[in-house]
Chains A and B, each alone.
Chain A
Amino acid sequence: MNNRWSIICIMMIFALILSACGGVKTTPQVSQETVSVEQSIEEEAANPTPAPADTPIPEGPRVLKVAATANITTWDPVKSFSTEALYMGNFYEGLIRINPPSASERFTPLLAEKWDVSEDGLVWTFYLREGVKFHDGELLTAEAVKKSIEAAKDHGGASFIWLPLGSIDVVDDLTVKFNLTYAAPLDLIAASLYGAWIVSPKALDAAAQDDQYFEAGIEAGTGPYMLESYEPDKEVLMTRFDDYWGGWDDVKHFDKVLITITPEAVQQQQMLESGEVDLALSIPLENMEQFKNKPGVTFYEEPSLYNYVGFFNTLRKPLDDPKVRKALSYAIPYNDIIKIGGQGYGIQSRGPVPAGVWPYSEEVPQYTYDLTKAKELLAEAGYPDGGFELTLTYAAENQAEERLAPLIKDSFAEIGVTVNIEAIQFNQQWEKAKADPANAQDIFLLLYWPTYSDAGTDNLYSMFHSSEVPFFNLSYWKDEEFDKKIDEAAALTVTDPKKSQQLYTEAMTRLVDQAPGFFLYDVTAVFTFPDYIKGYQYNMNYPFTTFFYPMYTE
């Protein structure tokens, strides 16, 4: 009996402490106002934990501490096609890098100093930088570039990006020529975050002998940082490469970068607020608001490559009727979806190409939220009161989809359409969609991004071009006019960009009109940086990495 009472007492005390903590947190302004000056000084003295904003980086090796979700699925730069891009982007470099849309130049030369393309867009010549060293001491040569790209094309994780590539010629030590089988924007491909790293030939030879060569934590790039040590699922320590061709003199770069792998976003926020890390790369979207006007912190709201797309199953009644699909497109509460799904950080999409990415166009129309129109169109199609059921699948691990799927369900209910939501793991959702399209879901929600910055050959082709076996075209839509237009447009990307853009715009307009899918919103990337870290520049083309080299402190 006594025992039980004491347990209850302990629990009560615990509950009291918890509620007290909560109370203080919710009313910080009130408590600050009521605390006298003396008290607050005392508090500061008693509380030696420095606020993150005014922590100067001490002399000695400058270490940047980062919390990130990124795990390492492979250390092999050729196979890499996942979250390890965060690290790869600092160990390795490609020939060139694509700049954010706001920059005056479209590309930054990295390992290639300059490049040119033949009139017909079929021959691309890259002139390499002289004296670039790999981390293992090898020198950058045309031969090394040929070897890296051939490996990527042969067995890379993103080998498909090199599809247009016919052969590579080594002209001399520092000149390399790419011969394409059809005209394609090779500059964009060479700037890809996946399957385009230039790797030391010595390491590639070793990897050819032993498939698992890199997995011991070996990297052999030319990038500014080297891998010093790592613990799986725990942390990665990078240290600067002294012989980096970009040099280390002009500003106070970071000597080391310590990345703590932290899958839980709330925990990252907590680490940032306690000063444990300088940067947290994924803070819960819901909590970003509080960083907006925080002193000592810069708040970024930038366009991104991501967008949310839904696919209607066009093989099934009644979704085989474009009128029904249009009606449903009018019944999607776009603004509420951005407000709640994206926590306000997004803009309504114009077709499947996100703003800022080629071939995005302002001329592509959008649907508005208009239930009257939706009902009219449904009546025209022979469903005056709706009266049909649809199954919607989404990836349960995606927080935004979890928030927005119920909004679609509730809105469709207003026009008499019942939606059954199925939240399943992405790979299950994916398998279900591919198994037998006729029996698959009716609506498939997807977060999409292009592998490299060409949404014409990626987003438009992958998601809506007809194909015998569906890959990403999960509306199973087949439309000759659309196919013809984007095939033509893709072939003209390099030689006649204007005409290509026009064709793409026409194709997207037809796409929106036929509505095989619906286009929710382009994701706005939001993140914060402390003001004492300078030199950072956001680049929407590389959403899976952060380049640490340009950052410095004063």
Chain B
Amino acid sequence: MAIKESISNIQSLDTPPQSRRTLVHIAQVILRDPLALLSTIIIIVFFFVAVFAYQLAPFPEQGAGKSNPATAMLDPSPEHPIGTDRLGRDMLSRIIIASRPALVVPIVVVFLAVIIGAPLGAIAGYKGGWLDEVIMRITDLFLAFPFLLLAMSIATALGRGLDKAAIALIVSWWPWYTRLTRSIAASLSQRYFVMAARSIGVRDSVIILRHILPNCISPILVQATIDLGLVILAMGGLAFLGLGTQPPAPDWGLMVSDGRTFIFKQWWLSTYPGLAIFIVVLAFNLLGDTLRDVFDPRQYR
């Protein structure tokens, strides 16, 4: 009797906070907020451009890196709307083709960082004790360094290349997700629905997989969206320093770096790739903000 009562109490007080909000709901929020709408449109355009890069670029071969000495350093013209670089490659095509690594790499980096970071955080937060200590001290080790500095050191040690830069970013990024997940998992582990599951003898691994992790998804999703933008920025930074994408492959950060000696006269060489980074990063940030609004229950009380 008493047990039944308390269980019904628990249910009324403490339903699992799993996200029941549907895509429709997210779409509603986005449509209501012009800024969110704008950022979503930008991101959709960005995805579209990246997928059809080779069809959209006026000079796909040059965009991918083929030099064309005859047209070196042309000013903007109808044929080359934002001019050509010092190897005679059409800048617009370069920027368009460079959207591919700018799309793929952040997705891979963030995805792997979540795959590594989130389960560790969930275990640490749920189990607590010495396991928590060990995992969290390891993350502290990584978080003790400024993020970009750590990524730079790892990338330098591994050598130049896009794949190596991506590894460096994953290695320096996962601890953030561990922290985030741990804090949520720690509070979830004290909630009645988790305690109830534990009390009826559900194994820890199942609790983590079925109860803890699903409830961490929305904050992770919000964070990941914002991070997609930040990874693009970090990639650009590494490429600017010569640690990321290697020429002749196109990359926005690399293009900013290549054009910087021309900044007094041919300012467009650095400005447009920089603008591309700026717009995409801003769009991801705004979308992340919107998603936070959607998932944050306080806003809808």
Residues of A within 8 A of B (CB): 4-5, 8, 11, 15, 18-19, 22, 25-26, 265-266, 269-270, 284, 286-287, 290, 333, 336, 339-340, 396, 402-403, 405-407, 409-410, 421, 423-424, 428
Q: A269-B264, A286-B261, A339-B69 are in contact. Are A421 and B248 (CB under 8 A)?
A: yes
Of residues 258 through 280 on chain B, the ones whose CB sits less than 8 Å from some CB of chain A are: 260-265, 267-268, 271, 275, 278
Residues of B within 8 A of A (CB): 35, 65-67, 69, 72, 86-88, 159-160, 242, 246-248, 260-265, 267-268, 271, 275, 278, 282, 286, 289
Q: Find chain A residues with CB under 8 A from B69 CB.
A: 333, 336, 339-340, 407
CA distance A402 to B247 in the complex (A): 8
CA distance A22 to B264 in the complex (A): 8
A423 and chain B: residue at smallest CB distance: B246
Contact B263 A266 (CB under 8 A): yes
- Secondary structure dominating the interface of B: loop
Q: Find chain B residues with CB under 8 A from A290 CB.
A: 265
Contact B248 A8 (CB under 8 A): no
Contact A421 B247 (CB under 8 A): yes
Q: A284-B261, A339-B69 are in contact. Are A22 and B271 (CB under 8 A)?
A: yes
CA distance A270 to B263 in the complex (A): 11
Q: Find chain A residues with CB under 8 A from B286 CB.
A: 4
9 A–B pairs (Cβ distance < 8 Å), ordered by A: A4-B286, A4-B289, A8-B35, A396-B242, A403-B86, A410-B66, A410-B67, A421-B246, A424-B159
Q: Of B35, B65, B159, B271, which is within 8 A of A406 by CB?
A: B65
Q: Find chain B residues with CB under 8 A from A4 CB.
A: 35, 286, 289
In the assembled complex, how far is the CB of residue B124 from the closest CB belonging to chain A, in whole angstroms? 33
Q: Find chain B residues with CB under 8 A from A407 CB.
A: 67, 69, 87
Q: Find chain B residues with CB under 8 A from A339 CB.
A: 69, 72
In the assembled complex, how far is the CB of residue A414 from the closest CB belonging to chain B, in whole angstroms? 11
A407 and chain B: residue at smallest CB distance: B67
CA distance A32 to B87 in the complex (A): 32
Q: A8-B35, A340-B72, A340-B86 are in contact. Are A406 and B264 (CB under 8 A)?
A: no
CA distance A409 to B86 in the complex (A): 16
CA distance A142 to B160 in the complex (A): 53
In the assembled complex, how far is the CB of residue B37 from the closest CB belonging to chain A, in whole angstroms? 13
CA distance A405 to B67 in the complex (A): 10
Contact B261 A5 (CB under 8 A): no
CA distance A18 to B286 in the complex (A): 23
Q: Find chain A residues with CB under 8 A from B268 CB.
A: 22
B261 and chain A: residue at smallest CB distance: A284
Q: Find chain B residues with CB under 8 A from A396 CB.
A: 160, 242
Q: A339-B72, A423-B246 are in contact. Are A265 and B261 (CB under 8 A)?
A: yes
Q: Find chain A residues with CB under 8 A from B248 CB.
A: 406, 409, 421
Q: Find chain A residues with CB under 8 A from B278 CB.
A: 11
In the assembled complex, how far is the CB of residue A435 from the closest CB belonging to chain B, in whole angstroms? 15
